[in-house]
Amino acid sequence: MSKDQNILYFISGNVHKYNEILNLFRKENLKYILKQKNTTTVEIQARSIKEVALYKLESIKGQIDGSYFIEDAGFFVDTPLDGFPGVYSSYVMKTIGNKGILRLIDNFDETRAHFTSVIALYFKPLDKNLFFEGTIYGKVSKTLRGSGGFGFDPIFLPNVIPNKTFAELTTEEKNKISHRGQAWRKLIKFLRENTY
């Protein structure tokens, strides 16, 4: 493997995401070196997280010498909001935030929600775009709880640990079950099987 092929760039300005990914990466004995790069990407409004991720990946092609990946996620309140905010998660977080989501579902006892993560990788040795996905199901908490994590973490109760929000878990605990952790493990499997 040449020096360039050895580096894997994570394109993101989100320090929380980077910390989660770094926490996962450190446990692996990979032949790659992980580097974060905060390159400006283009985020389109599309119907699926995967479409957004593909566009973002393509928008920086040619700017990076080597293999690189981006990660895109969405929070979907399936009941009672029919999947909202989904692909609008970023905008909703910046505008009404978690308190706004709680206000929207205030009258409903039953909630169902999920997070989906898509890692889109441009893998230079094969000159190919590849996708790795993860989803976690749960409920929406009645109140904001916990101080860890970021984004919608304080209002998401995963089904596998139903008494704690994501924000009440350590990074390690969250990574074990989260959408991003699942997508990440698929990426790791691919990298292990494709070392040049």
Out of 21, 41, 77, 89, which residue is the one contacting ligand IMP (CB under 6 A)? 89
User: Please, are residues 7 and 65 in contact by the beta-carbon 8 Å criterion?
Assistant: no
Q: Does 72 bind ligand IMP (CB under 6 A)?
A: yes
Residues 6 or more apart whose CB falls under 8 angstroms from that of 46 comprise 52, 55, 87
For residue 77, the cross-strand partners are: 84, 113
To the query of whether residue 72 is one of the catalytic residues in this protein, the response is: yes
Q: Binding string, 126-165, against ligand IMP, x = CB under 6 A?
A: -----------------------xxxxx------------
- Nearest approach, Cβ of residue 98 and ligand IMP (Å): 9
Reading the block at residue 87, the tokens are 């692909």
Reading the block at residue 144, the tokens are 């904001």
Residue 42 gets which letter from DSSP? Answer: -
Q: How far apart are CA 119 and CA 73, in angstroms?
A: 9
Q: How far apart are CA 28 and CA 32, in angstroms?
A: 10
Give the interface segment with ligand IMP, choosing from 26-34, 89-97, 102-110, 119-127 (CB under 6 A): 89-97
- Nearest approach, Cβ of residue 150 and ligand IMP (Å): 5
Out of 93, 104, 144, 177, which residue is the one contacting ligand IMP (CB under 6 A)? 93
- Nearest approach, Cβ of residue 26 and ligand IMP (Å): 18
- Nearest approach, Cβ of residue 195 and ligand IMP (Å): 28
Q: How far apart are CA 88 and CA 73, in angstroms?
A: 10
User: What are the Cα distances from residue 58, in Å, to 43, 122, 128, 161?
Assistant: 11, 9, 11, 37
Reading the block at residue 174, the tokens are 């969250």
Q: Does 75 bind ligand IMP (CB under 6 A)?
A: yes
Give the interface segment with ligand IMP, choosing from 2-10, 25-33, 68-76, 181-189 (CB under 6 A): 68-76
Identify the active-site residue in 4, 65, 72, 106.
Answer: 72
Give the interface segment with ligand IMP, choosing from 57-65, 87-95, 119-127, 186-194 (CB under 6 A): 87-95
Residues 6 or more apart whose CB falls under 8 angstroms from that of 153 comprise 146, 165, 166, 167, 174
Binding positions for ligand IMP, rule: CB under 6 A: 14, 72-75, 89-90, 93, 115, 149-153, 166, 178, 180
**Looking at the annotation, which residues are catalytic?**
72
